[in-house]
Structure formats: structure tokens, C-alpha cells
Structure 1
Amino acid sequence: MRRDALYFPGLVPTKFSTIETFLRTDDHARRRLAEADEFLGYSLMDAYAEADVYDWEVYESGFMVVTLALADWALENVELNPVLCGGQSFGAIIAAVFSGALSYQDGLALVRNSVLVEVDYFDHQPEPLGCLFFYRMTSQQVDDLVAEFRAAGRDVEVSIYLDDSVHAVSGTLADLELLEARVREAGGFPFYTMNRSEHCPSVRPLRDRLETEVYDRVSWHRPKWPMLSDVSGKLLTDPEEIEQDLLDGWVTPVHWSTVVGGMRDAGTEQVHIIGPRNMFSRITNNALPTEVITPKKVVDRATSPA
């Protein structure tokens, strides 16, 4: 049989209007929503409809609900032979839930309690921190620009090399504002600034707090499928290794080449990108045959003539 990889992208803010029909009509989505509502103590769909992009508990829980429901749908409607399951950044937590390394309730608890620690950590920094996402610059250009800023005493760090076009840099919001202007001058296109830093060594104190205050307080299990690390590219099955790998993602820059290399080493023949947005598809499709599973695809399938 064909060897498939199930892969969950990182959290990209998604408008409620783009997922509303899926949430209201798909049985898998309704079931995942009902369980989330019971755990959270409020209507996640109603909260998502009104949420600001920085309402992290709502956005992360909503992203988890939609993505897991899509994966549930895929197992029933797509011929799959998974040999690994993985995710980039927040997607790795969803992969942990879907693979069984975390229960769904523990996944929701991880989201809620991590947000509390993260907000406390970033609110108490001397200067506001963030992460700037942009594209249309090569990795070499980004490295050169970051080196220039660091030589001038500005503490910025590359957080994400999604491919040789999409990148993210973390630092103070003041430095990122200057960096954004330089990105535009170089022909790059900034599209999102997150109100926290991530995937960089400077947030080591946050990573260590999350370990003791959140991650060590949920139960970790052996996954149904090996989990592909976006830190090392290795396949993980040991529960403790999975926990440590997710934590280390906070302090390790994301290199998409590491993920693709891990998929190839595992003998992957097709990748299934599962999530609300499909921006990852063009990246893996350059290396491996790729299918994208989004809310639009599921809704279109359900409403198309038999």
C-alpha cells in the first residue's frame, strides 16, 4: 500500500466566515465542538465568531477543533495508510492529540493552561515582543538582514524558514517595526505580526515554565502512528520524547527542509496536509505528491451532486 504522511500546519489566523459552514454542517466538527464546549464551559463557535486575532485560547481551541474534525473526516473518506503523523509549530500539538499521544481533553487543557502562562510571561517582559511573518525574500537575504540588525545591537532572531520564500523573525515590536520597513524596501511582503516571540532561544525561560506548569501536568502516551519531529526530523514514539520535542519547538527555529527530509527518510509516498488553510501545500508538493484537506473541500464534497 501507498505510504502516507498526515501533516498538520501551524496556526494561521482564519476568519470565522471561512470555516462556519463546515462547523455547522459536518458531523465530525459538531462532535468535536460539543466536546470542546463541555470542557471550556462556553460555546466555542460563538466565541470564535466574535474573537480578536489575539484571543489565543479561542483561536487555538477553534483551530484544534477544525483540524481534528478534518482529520476525522479524512480517515473515513480518504484511502489512507499513515506511516507517520506530524505538525509544524502549533500543528504538532494537534498531531499529538490525533495520534493519541495526548487525549483530546488533555490537548484542550494544554491549550488553555499554556495560554495563561504565555500571556503572563509576555506581559512581564521589559519590552513587548512579537514575531513578524513575511514572504518574497530568500533565506540568504533574511539571514543577511538579521545579521545586520544584530550587529547594530538589535536582538532579532529568525524563527521560521518555511521554505526559501516564507520566513518569520522574532524580536521586540520596536525592532520588528524597523525590520518590516527594511523587508518592504527589499521587495518582501509582510503579512502578519504575532504578539509573542516563538521558535527562538530567547524564550527559553517560557519553555521551561511551560514544562513544569503545563506539560508535566497532562498525561502522555505512545502514539498510534510515529510522530515526525519538526525540530529534528526524527520519528518519535516514546511519550517523554514527544513531550520534550514539543517543548523544544519553542526554542528551535522551524526549518521546513527538516520536515521534508524526515518524510523522505520514512519512505513517505504522499503527504496529506490537513487544516483550515492550504498555504503549506505548495511547499510539500515540490518534494512529494500532496493532497490538501480543508473545510472548503469537505463542504464542496458534501454539496456536490452524487
Structure 2
Amino acid sequence: MRRDALYFPGLVPTKFSAVEGFLRTNDYARSRISVADEFLGYSLVDSYATAEVYDWEVYESGFMVLTLALADWALDHVEIDPVLCGGQSFGAIIAAVFSGVLSYEDGLALVRGSAAVEVDYFDGLAEPLGCLFFYRLNSRQVDELVAEFREVGRDVEVSIYLDDSVHAVSGPLADLDPLAERIRESGGHPFYTMNRSEHCASVRPLRDRLETEVYDQVRWRVPRWPMLSDVSGRLLSDPEEIKRDLLDGWVTPVHWSTVVDGMRTARADHAHIVGPRNMFSRITNNALPTDVITPKTVADRERAREVSPP
């Protein structure tokens, strides 16, 4: 019997045009959208079509709807027998909804409430914070650059070790600009700066506000499948422990190796990565066989079914 890991990547900026067909025509997507529209009080697809990545409520809700619909489709059309469900960064929230830790409505409430608190927190800071994403440097080089900047008083922290090539560093925007230049000088390629920090100790006040103002206001349940922590790599089934783990993700750097090691410890022998892009598949594919479930996966499967003889 195959032992599958069902995994949801973090929020990756994706052009609406790349997912519009799936959102507007797929029955699984339309079912998820109908509930979201009623809960949010507006047309999520129409808002998502014009949203910027910094329109956090719309963008995160749209990403959640899209990803959950892909997972719904996969359970009906792909041979999957999950022994665990997990996600990286925002993907962990989606995993909590899909595994039943949060109801769909509570997941949408969590997104809406968290977005409001995050905007209030970051807008209220005296010094703007950000998170710089880049690739083509290995983890040792990244740690050395961060140490170099911290030695001269620049408060930067590594937020993400996605693999030994893709990383992210959080800190004041005034410190990230010169860091980006040093990254280029070292042979790296900065490609995206987000207007908030995440997965670092400096946002502890935000993590604590989210706990009391948002996470304590929704109901947490026992999951359908154990949740794989991207903080510790452990399998979690206690609702309160899962809640704390998701909160602690705000102040703990992401190490993709922690996730892969957790899958191995759980004796998963196949990974299914669910989301709009397939960039994460190359990482787990080095450790265990990996399939991706994207809008293209759905379109290809449906096209093949149309041309197959009866």
C-alpha cells in the first residue's frame, strides 16, 4: 500500500490569467467560490482578477480557494491515500482547512482577521520591514552574508531555506536594499521583496496579537490526517498543538529539509504537491517520488479523457 504525503506550498505570486480558466469553469472551484462569496460578501474571483499581492485578504482567500479546489479534485481523480497533510508557510493554513482542523468558513475568517491585524501591525511600525527572496546562493553563503550584516548592527534574519539555492531574509527595508546588492556581488539573484517580514523572531509581537485577536476566535478540531509541522517536522493531531504550531511558524525560519525529513520519518513514499505552480516539486523529488497537482494537471487530465476512446 502506498503512503502518500499531501502537501500545500506557500503563497507564490501567480498571474490571474494562469488560473482564471480553472477558477471560472471547474466545478470544484465554483463550489468553493460560492461559499467564499457568501462569507466574504463580494465576488472573490472578480476581486482576485484585479488584486495585487498586497491586497492580502483577497489574494490569500483566492489562493486558498484555488488550492482547496485542486485538492478536492485530486481526491476524486488521483489515486491518493494520505498518511499526512501539511503545508509550508501560508500553505499550512490551507492544510489545516483541508484536513478539517478548521472549517472552511473558519479558514476564511482566519484569513480575513489575520490580514487586518497584519496590515495594522506593519503599517504601525516606525521602520518598515520586508522580506527579500533570492536564489543562486547556497545556505552557507547566505548565513555568512547575514552574519556580516548583523556584525555591523543591521537587524536581518534568514526566514526561508527553501533548498540550498532559494532563500529569503527578513529585516528593515533600509537594510535589505544593501543586502540585495551584496547578494548580486556574490553571484545571487534577488527576485522579490515583500512588504512585511515573516518567519523571524522580530515579529514576535505580531504572532502574539494574532493568537489573541484571531486564532483564539475560531474553533480548532482534530484533523482527518495528521498535520506535518513545517516548524519541527513532527506529526501533530492535537488541535491546540496545531494552533500553536501555526502561530510559531511566524517566528521560526522555514527549512524545507525539516519538511522532507518529517515525510521520511512518517514513512511517506510519495508526495503530492498541490498548488498553482510546480516549482516545489523539484525539491521533494530528490527525496521521494513527487507529483504536482496544478490547474494544468486538471486541464491535461480532462483533455486526455475527452480524446480517449469509449
Normalised by the size of structure 1, how large is the TM-score?
Answer: 0.99
Deviation string 1:147-180 (CA, Å, 9 cap, x unpaired) is: 0000010000000000100000000111111111
Q: How does 1:56-205 map to 2 (within 5 A)?
A: 56-205=56-205
Is 1:269 the counterpart of 2:278? The answer is no
Give the whole-Å Cα distance in 1 for the aligned partners of 2:299 and 2:213.
Answer: 39
Q: Give the Cα separation in 2 of the matches to 1:284 and 1:163.
A: 10
Q: Hey, what does 2:225 align to over in structure 1?
A: 225
Alignment RMSD (CA, Å): 0.6
Runs of 4+ with deviation above 2 angstroms: none
Q: Classify the secondary structure of the residue corresponding to 1:159.
A: strand
**Counterpart residue type for residue 132 of structure 2:** L
> How many angstroms apart in 1 are the aligned matches of 2:84 and 2:205?
31
- Report what 2:35 is aligned to: 35
Partner residue, 1:295: 295
Where does the alignment leave 5 or more consecutive residues of structure 1 unmatched? none
**Does the 8 A contact of 1:11 with 1:90 survive in 2?**
yes
Deviation at 1:303, TM superposition (A): 2.6
1:46-105 per-position Cα deviation (integer Å, ceiling 9, x unaligned): 001111121111110011001000000000000111000000000000000000000000
Answering whether residue 234 of structure 2 is matched by residue 234 of structure 1, we say yes
Deviations 1:226-276 (A, max 9, x none): 000000000000000000000000000001111001000000000000001
Correspondence for 1:250: 250
Contact 1:6 1:272 in 2 (8 A): yes
Deviation at 1:296, TM superposition (A): 1.2
- Deviations along 1:8-61, one digit per CA (max 9) or x if unpaired, are 000011110000010111110000011111111111110011111211111100
CA contact 1:13–1:59 (8 Å) conserved in 2: no
Q: Aligned to 2:251, what secondary structure does the other structure show?
A: coil
Shift of 1:142: 0.2
2: distance between equivalents of 1:65 and 1:115? Answer: 16
Check whether the contact 1:3–1:82 (CA below 8 A) recurs between aligned residues: yes
Secondary structure of the corresponding residue to residue 250 of structure 2: coil
Q: d(CA) in 1 for partners of 2:299 and 2:57?
A: 26
Hey, what's the Cα distance between the residues in 2 that align with 1:116 and 1:81? 37
Structure 2, unmatched stretches of 5+, are none
Aligned equivalents of 1:113, 1:213: Cα separation in 2: 8
